[in-house]
A = this chain, B = another copy of it.
Amino acid sequence: MASKAKVSLALLLLSLLVLCASLAQAKDPELKICQNQCKRQKQQCERNCDEYIREKKERERQRGEGNGGVERESYDREEEREEQEEEEEEEEAEDNPFLFEDEDFESRVETDEGSVQVLQRFTKRSKLLRGIENYRVAILEADPLTFISPAHFDAELVLFVAKGRATITMVRDEERMSIVCDEDRKSFNLECGDVIRVPMGTPFYMINRDENEKLYVVKILQTISIPGHFEAFNGPGGEDPESFYTAFSREVLQATLKADGFQLDKLFHKQRKGSIMKASKEKIDALRQHKQGSAGIWPFGSFSSAHIYNLFNKQPSKSNQYGSLYEALPNDYKQLQDVDLSVAFANITRDSMVGPIYYSKATKISVIVEGEGYFEMACPHLSSSRSRGQRGGRESSRPRKSSTRYRKVSGALRPGVVFVTPASHPFVVIASRNSDLKVVCFEINAKGNIRYNLAGKGNVMNKLEKEAKELAFNLPAREVESIFNLQDGDLFFQGPKEREEEYGRAFE
């Protein structure tokens, strides 16, 4: 077959030669322009090939890498390649664009003492997630008695402490806000369940002040400046983390700090521990907040309302033997209003489930913190029925029924897994038989959002008028009611009996 190709190629070349010969003397300026265009195309193609080869080499180099002295690569080209990869990935994308696992995270920081893992952009996975493209999820882990180096982000940031005990310190420059403020640094001790917002651009640092327990913080970032992208800006630093000061030219840095070269070298080359490092007990003790309860008494500027909100300090919105739901709604915690976000925590008891429910307006990003289980969701956007309808519509004009179809989207859940349930999509989350399932949830477009129950107490079907039930189900109303009244639980229910098989079939 390959040899056939060669023969064809010979033929092709021959014909081309003839053709070229016959056309050779054309001097038409049109031709020249077109030729130029084509030349450019060719060059581009060659460049692409070159690039491919370079990439390959680089990959090889990385495999046996030492340091990083290559930084030729521009963001745009990077972006371009990313997009190519996106296309390819999207093509291969399995049936579930709503589930994210370990390989969908990128490691942004990785030191001996901890790490920061950032989830890929949602739109990199699927255009269905374009509504949340400005949001990113990250997970910070830090060993006991560690220091996370000062930095600011070019994105709004909301933290949820899932495990451990931290202290966060923010620096605010209120001067421009025309507010006199003695104290332009503020520390907050954080416990499990605490939600805190770090406004965009605010320098902050953290410690894990516990001697034994790891710190585990789930972050959601709302990107503004470059939609879908954010970066950390480390001020202090040296070789690792690098300080952004060192990006300025040396003479500018000297003028700016009135420092000589020797002083600059001392300042910006000592740090090699990375941005998460061990700290002595003494330093940790000095850095934690001693005046507990003072959080609320900083009444200046926009920062004044930046206090901690603990999800577990108030009653759960729902609780029974099958699970509990804790929520921080924008109405509860003003800081969340600006970023139009709710934060919630669900504890689903082993062998239990939550739902089916849907959120009227909010798209929910759920991060599994502990336990195992699975989720199921009904999605009309993934179903292929629409496409059939459309094509039919275009090709022929005769009417046809093409009502919406719902596809089951499902996935196995374990710690570190993230799943997205878009607004209005009904879903259930089911804990395994062996362990409680703990889920941190960020709800985007939280303002005016309502949770609708689809089973149990207060479910939507029971609220329809008798005649609507009859017409809609094509069944006597009392039969519909008798079935929808069987389940008398509220939100959290006993889990399915035979799911193990289903679960096994689908995900193992």
Interface status of A319 (Cβ within 8 A of chain B): no
For window 226-277 of A, CB contacts with B under 8 Å fall at: 226-227, 229, 231-238, 240-249, 251-252, 254-259, 263-264, 266-267, 270-275, 277
CA distance A497 to B405 in the complex (A): 52
Least Cβ–Cβ distance between A255 and chain B, in angstroms: 4
14 CB contacts below 8 A, A to B, read A1-B2, A16-B41, A38-B45, A43-B43, A57-B92, A74-B93, A74-B382, A75-B383, A229-B381, A236-B461, A240-B401, A242-B404, A255-B499, A279-B467
Interface status of A62 (Cβ within 8 A of chain B): yes
Interface status of A434 (Cβ within 8 A of chain B): no
Q: Which of A98-106, A209-217, A292-300 contacts B (4 or more CB under 8 A)?
A: A98-106
Interface status of A498 (Cβ within 8 A of chain B): yes
Interface status of A189 (Cβ within 8 A of chain B): no
- Nearest B residue to A5, CB-CB: B22
Are A401 and B274 interface neighbours, CB within 8 A?
yes
Interface status of A320 (Cβ within 8 A of chain B): no
For window 451-508 of A, CB contacts with B under 8 Å fall at: 451-456, 458, 460-461, 463-475, 479-480, 483-484, 486-487, 493-499, 502, 505-506
Least Cβ–Cβ distance between A93 and chain B, in angstroms: 6
CA distance A423 to B156 in the complex (A): 11
Q: A21-B38, A62-B388, A249-B376 are in contact. Are A493 and B256 (CB under 8 A)?
A: yes
Are B15 and A22 interface neighbours, CB within 8 A?
no
Chain B residues near A279: list those with CB within 8 A.
467, 471
Question: Which of B287, B423, B465, B468 meets A467, CB within 8 Å?
Answer: B287
For window 20-35 of A, CB contacts with B under 8 Å fall at: 20-26, 28, 30-35
- Nearest B residue to A120, CB-CB: B390
Interface status of A171 (Cβ within 8 A of chain B): yes
Are B20 and A259 interface neighbours, CB within 8 A?
no
Least Cβ–Cβ distance between A21 and chain B, in angstroms: 4
Are B403 and A70 interface neighbours, CB within 8 A?
no
Q: Which of A158-166, A391-399, A411-419 contacts B (4 or more CB under 8 A)?
A: A391-399
CA distance A153 to B312 in the complex (A): 33
CA distance A472 to B410 in the complex (A): 44
Least Cβ–Cβ distance between A267 and chain B, in angstroms: 5
Chain B residues near A263: list those with CB within 8 A.
483, 486
Are B424 and A252 interface neighbours, CB within 8 A?
no
Q: How large is the interface on A (under 10, 10 to 19, 20 to 34, 35 or more residues)?
A: 35 or more
Q: A1-B26, A286-B467 are in contact. Are A107 and B399 (CB under 8 A)?
A: yes
Least Cβ–Cβ distance between A362 and chain B, in angstroms: 9
Interface status of A343 (Cβ within 8 A of chain B): no
Please tell me how many copies of the chain the complex holds. Answer: 3
Q: Chain A 54-87, CB within 8 Å of chain B: the 1/0 string?
A: 1011110011001111111111111111100000
Chain B residues near A48: list those with CB within 8 A.
20-21, 24, 34, 37-38, 41
Q: A255-B496, A395-B59 are in contact. Are A236 and B8 (CB under 8 A)?
A: no
Are B8 and A9 interface neighbours, CB within 8 A?
yes
Chain B residues near A244: list those with CB within 8 A.
378, 380, 406, 426
Chain B residues near A266: list those with CB within 8 A.
475, 479, 483
Interface status of A358 (Cβ within 8 A of chain B): yes
CA distance A429 to B256 in the complex (A): 11
CA distance A484 to B268 in the complex (A): 12
Question: Which of B1, B6, B248, B469 meets A8, CB within 8 Å?
Answer: B6
CA distance A93 to B231 in the complex (A): 22
Chain B residues near A484: list those with CB within 8 A.
257
- Nearest B residue to A484, CB-CB: B257
Are A472 and B236 interface neighbours, CB within 8 A?
yes
Chain B residues near A24: list those with CB within 8 A.
30-31, 34-35, 48-49, 52-53
